[in-house]
Amino acid sequence: MKPIDLRSDTVTLPSPAMREAMSRAPLGDDVYGEDPTVNQLQEICADLFGKEAALFVASGTMANQVALGVLTRPGDEVICDQGAHPVNFEGGAMPALWGIQPRTLRGDRGLLDPVEVEAAIRPENEHFPRSRVVEIENTHNRGGGSVYPLARVQAIAEVARRRGLDLYLDGARLMNAVVASGVPARDFAEGATLVSLCFSKGLGAPVGSILAGDRDRIRDARRLRKRLGGAMRQAGVLAAAALYALENNVARLAEDHENARMLSGALAALPGVDVPHPVETNLVFAAFRGRSAVDLVARLREAGVLANPEGSRPDLVRFVTHLDVSRDEVLEAARRVAETVAA
């Protein structure tokens, strides 16, 4: 029985065509700024987001932490959703690396309210940390893959600009938001000081993220990338995969979204199963009432379906569709889940 892996879109493997592109990539030493494939990727991504410059980094976590390190000083505060990736899934990096702290708000499926953002900005007072950055995540992982409406992104950006804060857009799955909404990436990124995109999730590349912004901040980001050990040499092998992903794997994200909706409908039809979030992109959260998500995930593994406990509540399981799982496999996964729940 072939396992159907729905743990994350990070489990995707590079296709033969992507591997071919990697093998043919012109290479140089990126620490010297001489890798032509990395430089091409950075130029394309800067244009994609409407920014002056971009920097290729090893991971989404590195992109997030380099961005926050560039935009803050020790003792500063970052306003973000309580489920934000830098708060929950990056090993405590904000205080450990930069001496900064989060001021978390409870968003609607992870999406912040501009009025609440403004209310959370600290007044200037020696007793308080300085509010320096508003961080938003599009799509929002813990919001069930929720997509920020453009008008809300613009309103949050306006609050940040008017109050003298920077806006950082964690766009790990931003192309999912672009495909789901029809809003161009540069429109989502317009009001952000820095914006990132991960290539190793739904886009199917093996490694890497991009960080884009103005030239001065990207210059500072390059220094922090070095400090974190993220300056790579002949990185064009990896950048070639990212270029292939941008050229070939963006529009097809719509298939993942449709497969997620099909899976959601099948799970919601099962007795004792709720789908707490509307499915907008490729993430499906299912609550199995009265069951331990940890125990259920172990049983699903025995049945050939790989998923993860979501972690925010004890009965919630996360399923993620991606390019390495076909529609037939998604339907088969739903059948196996139904059998496991009924057993």
Instruction: List pLDDT tens digits, range 176-210.
Output: 999 999 999 999 999 999 999 999 999 999 999 99
Q: Which residue bears the tokens 């987001």?
A: 49
At residue 7 the predicted structure's pLDDT band, cuts being 50, 70 and 90, is very high
Half-sphere exposure (Cβ direction) of 53: Cα atoms closer than 13 Å: 10
For 237, the enclosing helix (H) or strand (E) is helix 236-248
The structure tokens listed for 186 are 């540069």
Q: What is the pLDDT of residue 182?
A: 98
> Phi first, then psi: what are they for 134, rounded to 5°?
-105, 125
Instruction: List pLDDT tens digits, range 224-249.
Output: 999 999 999 999 999 999 999 999 99
At residue 124 the predicted structure's pLDDT band, cuts being 50, 70 and 90, is very high
In 3D space, the residue among 121, 123, 129 whose CA is nearest the CA of residue 100 turns out to be 129
Instruction: List pLDDT tens digits, range 79-117.
Output: 999 999 999 999 999 999 999 999 999 999 999 999 999
What DSSP designation does 140 have?
B
pLDDT higher than 80, residue 343: no
Cis peptide before 12 (omega within 30 of 0): no
Report the DSSP pairing between strands 305-306 and 130-137. Answer: unpaired
Mean pLDDT of 50-60: 98
Region of 182 (left: φ > 0; alpha: ψ -120 to 50; beta: rest) is: left
Q: What is the pLDDT of residue 204?
A: 97
Question: pTM score, two decimals?
Answer: 0.96
Query: Which domains, and CATH codes, for the chain?
Result: 14-248 (3.40.640.10), 252-342 (3.90.1150.10)
The structure tokens listed for 36 are 């032509």
